[in-house]
Amino acid sequence: MAITLAVEALDVVFEYDGRRALDSLSLAVPQGSIFGLLGPNGSGKSTLISLLAAMQAPQAGSLTVLGEKPGPRLRSRLGILFQETCLDPLMTVEETLRLHGKLFGFSGQTLKSSSDRVLALLELDQRAGDAAATLSGGMKRRLELARALLTGPELLLLDEPSVGLDLEVRSRLWGHLRDTNEEETTLIVATNDVLEAERYCHSVAFLSRGRTLAMGTPDELKRGLKRDSVRLEWPDLTESTLCDIASWPGVGRATWIAPILHVTVDDASSFVPRLFQAVGEGIRAIHIRESTLEDAYFQLVGLPIAERQEQMV
């Protein structure tokens, strides 16, 4: 059965004053999925969100959102959570929703019932009469999500939805987002939190310098990686030792940001004893875990490595 796409981008180009933010970017987002856009700052995530929201138009390439070319009319089918807080501090929670609803053509009883529904859903009904300025950071984010959900969007665009939130608030926010997705709303989440993307997204695209480097489910993207990830605190590591380790059988990628050496290996239980046998002292701490999407991200995107002038073999 053919998959219906919520978003289809083909060779999309967008420039700000000659600086290319999206460079022939292509993407396919299945309808009803939670889709993560992962990439470092400046990789084009927010620009792509603004194009999907029809706030700006691509300068080249083709973009289809919910079967339409992006334009003002499309926005009635979208909900948007911007990266930064966009609330009027003088308006109450209820007034914020009422203004948004009216801008989207809702009024009367329809607006009232939609507003009550999202306030209850996001557990803000007890604060409906309070000014936005008096809400905590987590509540402000929930109010913005309530606003985005008010009009029953088919596609929810979320730009760094959990940035700056503590773990508990973040977890509750994601709970709400998953509930929303279960009601068949497609979610596109721009984030640079790889663990969050691995935990919550059905599919992920790695963006770098305005291009899609890889796209697939977290399992697909991890396929081909070494099974284990070994992190060593090793301040005195020399370049020759690093090259030696990298050449061992079963060793994948070895990266060093002093004093940390990060190695992906087929089997940590055989690698670690061999390492201690070969190099003896100098290693201060060791941490072993299974490879994650983060390892796939670093392997494919590579930008943070370059940015930190990491020594890489």
The answer to whether 142 contacts other proteins (rule: CB under 8 A) is no
Smallest separation (angstroms) from other proteins to the CB of 58: 17
The answer to whether 91 contacts other proteins (rule: CB under 8 A) is yes
The answer to whether 68 contacts other proteins (rule: CB under 8 A) is no
The answer to whether 95 contacts other proteins (rule: CB under 8 A) is yes
Smallest separation (angstroms) from other proteins to the CB of 155: 13
**Cα-to-chain-centroid distance, residue 234:** 31
Identify which of residues 45 and 98 has a Cβ nearer to other proteins in the complex.
98
The answer to whether 98 contacts other proteins (rule: CB under 8 A) is yes
Instruction: Tell me the per-residue interface mask from 266 to 295 with other proteins, x by CB under 8 A, - otherwise.
Output: ------------------------------
Segment interacting with other proteins, rule: CB under 8 A, options 70-78, 163-171, 176-184, 281-289: 70-78
Q: Supply φ then ψ for residue 56, to 5 degrees.
A: -140, 160
Other CB atoms within 10 A of residue 102 CB: 11
The answer to whether 145 contacts other proteins (rule: CB under 8 A) is no
Smallest separation (angstroms) from other proteins to the CB of 305: 33
Smallest separation (angstroms) from other proteins to the CB of 208: 26
Q: Supply φ then ψ for residue 182, to 5 degrees.
A: -65, -20
- Please, which residues have CB within 8 angstroms of residue 111's CB and are 6 or more apart in sequence? 98, 101, 102
Instruction: Tell me the per-residue interface mask from 15 to 54 with other proteins, x by CB under 8 A, - otherwise.
Output: --------------------------------------x-
The answer to whether 107 contacts other proteins (rule: CB under 8 A) is yes
Among 105, 164, 259, 282, binds other proteins (CB under 8 A): 105
The answer to whether 128 contacts other proteins (rule: CB under 8 A) is no
The answer to whether 147 contacts other proteins (rule: CB under 8 A) is yes
Identify which of residues 14 and 104 has a Cβ nearer to other proteins in the complex.
104
Specify whether the CB–CB gap between 138 and 166 falls below 8 A: yes
Among 10, 13, 28, 55, binds other proteins (CB under 8 A): 55
* Of residues 8, 105, 25, 38, the one with CA closest to residue 295: 38
The answer to whether 168 contacts other proteins (rule: CB under 8 A) is no
Smallest separation (angstroms) from other proteins to the CB of 160: 13
Smallest separation (angstroms) from other proteins to the CB of 294: 30
Smallest separation (angstroms) from other proteins to the CB of 4: 22
The answer to whether 84 contacts other proteins (rule: CB under 8 A) is yes
**How many chain residues interact with other proteins (CB under 8 A)?**
28
* Of residues 182, 196, 158, 202, the one with CA closest to residue 45: 158
Which chain residues interact with other proteins by CB under 8 A?
Answer: 53, 55, 72-76, 78, 80, 82, 84-91, 95, 98-100, 102-105, 107, 147
